Structure 1
Amino acid sequence: MSIEQNGLRQIDEEKLREWLVSRAAKYAKLDDAEIDADTPLSQYGLDSVSAVALAVDLEDEFGIVLGVDTLWKYPTVNLVVEMLLSTPQRSQRD
């Protein structure tokens, strides 16, 4: 499955999941293998500052713009991936 909406380049589901795990690990100061995609990111110590940084990274890497509260509504990597793949995305690059 991939995102191909609103002119965004195609994004592979597994690549997106791996990328999110890697970024979450970076902000939590953990190894990628220590991040479970079904565990709330807040349990790894990610706070609002790191959530905003992660959202900015996601926009920079994929052109996907997330609302400030998105990572609280979808608190795990897998929930974020599912939301991104099922929701039309808007890009400021359009």
Structure 2
Amino acid sequence: MSIAPETRDARHAEPSPRRKAPGLELWLTERVAFHLRKPAEDIDPDTPLADYGIDSVAAISICGEIEEEYRIAVSPTIAYDFPTVHAIATHVTELLADRATDGGARS
């Protein structure tokens, strides 16, 4: 028996507590997989998202999900500036660390 992939919109879910990079990378992999309509297991965190055929709508959606989930501002071009799940996760982790260092001054 197979289980259908989750189809509910994560933007309406309760925000999760801050994750460290490995948890963030898993969450991000799941979001990318959702937008590509692929199993998360098929997403390699070191493969460029462009190789999967991610489009601008999905990239912008992922940007918004990062902002909502982690309460930080990221560039709408994040998926192009940081072309892999791993690179995006590393960048977001750095932004979170900067925010913590700044005492939460950034939003």
TM-score (norm 1): 0.79
- CA RMSD, 1 decimal: 1.5
Tell me the SS of whatever aligns to 1:64.
Answer: coil
1:34 to 39, 42, 46: 42
Q: Within 5 Å, which residues of 2 pair with 1:13-92? A: 13-87=21-95, 88-89=98-99, 90-91=106-107
Tell me the SS of whatever aligns to 1:11.
Answer: coil
Structure 2 unaligned spans of 5+? 1-16, 100-105
Runs of 4 or more above 3 Å deviation: none
Q: Distance in 2 between matches of 1:75 and 1:40?
A: 5
Which one has the largest radius of gyration?
2
Q: Distance in 2 between matches of 1:10 and 1:16?
A: 8
If asked which structure has higher relative contact order (CA below 8 Å, sep 6+), I would say 1
Q: Distance in 1 between matches of 2:23 and 2:37?
A: 21
- How many residue pairs align between the two structures? 83
Percent of pairs identical after alignment? 30
Q: Distance in 1 between matches of 2:72 and 2:31?
A: 15
- Structure with more strand by fraction: 1
